[in-house]
Structure 1
């Protein structure tokens, strides 16, 4: 999948990578929720967060917005699970009929976290899954 970045997203990636010394493979500037979402190279999420969340705080200060991090994954199932984090996702199954749908088995007590306030978290996960794996929808089971 080819991901197209806006000029603002590219500028945010430069700032993020300078502060965290990690690699961002994607960036979404979410003006509706005043946040920037970075997809971080697999295996680098801990370094991106930094001790006690220090790197995220520094990036937030520099950008003047909230920052959310999602760890990249080599499989669509792993990516969907990471995109729904911090919800506990037990299993993800991809179904390819007319549309490609990811069915994510989420812990009952974490369904609210996976959905987020007014559906913001699941909508973000759907957007990222579409950008990276051409997944049309995510359903929680």
Structure 2
């Protein structure tokens, strides 16, 4: 699936790459944060020792930065979007032309998976739609 980036998103990706040495594959620019999708296997480099690299990127971009690790599989990608929640299982169901990802998380991690004001699950929904044509993400 092809992801279309705005000019702002491209500029943020370039700035993040300069600050961290990791070039994100996608970027969501939100009011109070920027969410970068980093290539699989490069999350450690993007975060850096003790979070120093991502902290430097936040300082340079002057906003909060959240990271999601990319994946080739839609279920793994949805689980990555909801990290650090402990995702037990992701089931994809297609009915009537709509694909829904049903995510199982322990009761104690439901708040983490939803996020403050629903931001974590909404980010998962937006990114899953952009990358895998998943129409919705629901906690099971």
Tell me the TM-score normalised to structure 1 length.
0.96
Residue in 1 that maps onto 2:52: 54
RMSD of the alignment, in Å?
0.7
CA distance in 2 between counterparts of 1:79 and 1:39 reads 10
Q: Tell me if 1:9 matches 2:15.
A: no
SS of corresponding position for 2:89:
strand
**Count of residue correspondences:** 139
Q: How do 1:101-140 and structure 2 match up within 5 A?
A: 101-140=100-139
Offset at residue 19 of structure 1 (A): 1.4
Residue in 2 that maps onto 1:72: 70
Offset at residue 23 of structure 1 (A): 2.4
Are the counterparts in 1 of residues 14 and 23 from structure 2 also a CA contact under 8 Å? no
CA distance in 1 between counterparts of 2:93 and 2:117 reads 26
Structure 2 residue ranges without an equivalent (≥5): none
CA distance in 1 between counterparts of 2:6 and 2:116 reads 26
SS of corresponding position for 2:25:
strand
Structure 1 residue ranges without an equivalent (≥5): none
Residue in 1 that maps onto 2:86: 88
